[in-house]
Amino acid sequence: MPGNVEISLSNNGWNGDFSVDSTGDLILAADVPNSPIATQQRVYRLLMSNPRSFNEATNAPVSIPTDLFAPGYGAGLRMSTGQMMTANLLGEIESSIYAGLATDPTIVNSPAPIVTIKNAGNGVLQINLSCTAVSGETINIPSFPLPISGG
């Protein structure tokens, strides 16, 4: 079995239905040269998964993590949904992306990932990301929107 394998999602990203073959079995997405589909899906899931968050004053948990079995997993970009657009928010989103990628053992930190966040207007940020896998292959994550408040 290939090294990087994910369950294939029909929309090639987060929140898609699982892809099934003609017999109803789940289809696996596997990285192949010049088509790192499994890594793309895993990175996107990492970015969109919310880790458990804590109250700064009491250190008590205040949220339920996306992955109950790995409560620290995720960059938590979905927690930005609905927040007002500020320079500080953009910095927090960018920092969350870099911190999340640093936890993925199949993504290298050098060369550093390239993150571009653009205000697409109408309360939507457009995020573009490129990183390098341990195999040396460049992984381009398809551009994705992040809805926020205040365009």
**Displacement of CA 5 from its chain's centroid (Å):** 16
* CA dist., res. 49 & res. 100, Å (int): 10
Euclidean distance between the first and the last CA atom of the chain, given in angstroms as a whole number: 45
* CA dist., res. 64 & res. 71, Å (int): 8
Tokens of 17: 């239905």
Q: List the chain pLDDT tens, one digit each, 151 residues.
A: 345 655 555 554 444 556 777 887 877 777 777 778 888 888 988 999 999 988 889 989 888 898 899 999 999 998 888 888 888 999 999 999 999 999 999 899 999 999 999 988 888 999 999 999 988 899 999 899 999 886 4
The beta strand positions in 77-121, using DSSP E, are: 114-121
Q: State whether the Cα torsion 97-103-107-110 is positive or negative.
A: positive
> Measuring CA to CA, which residue among 7, 41, 5 is closest to residue 27?
7
> Measuring CA to CA, which residue among 140, 1, 14 is closest to residue 77?
14
Q: How high is the pLDDT of residue 12?
A: 47
**Strand pairing category for 124-132 and 138-147:** antiparallel
Domain ranges of the chain: 5-147
pTM value?
A: 0.78
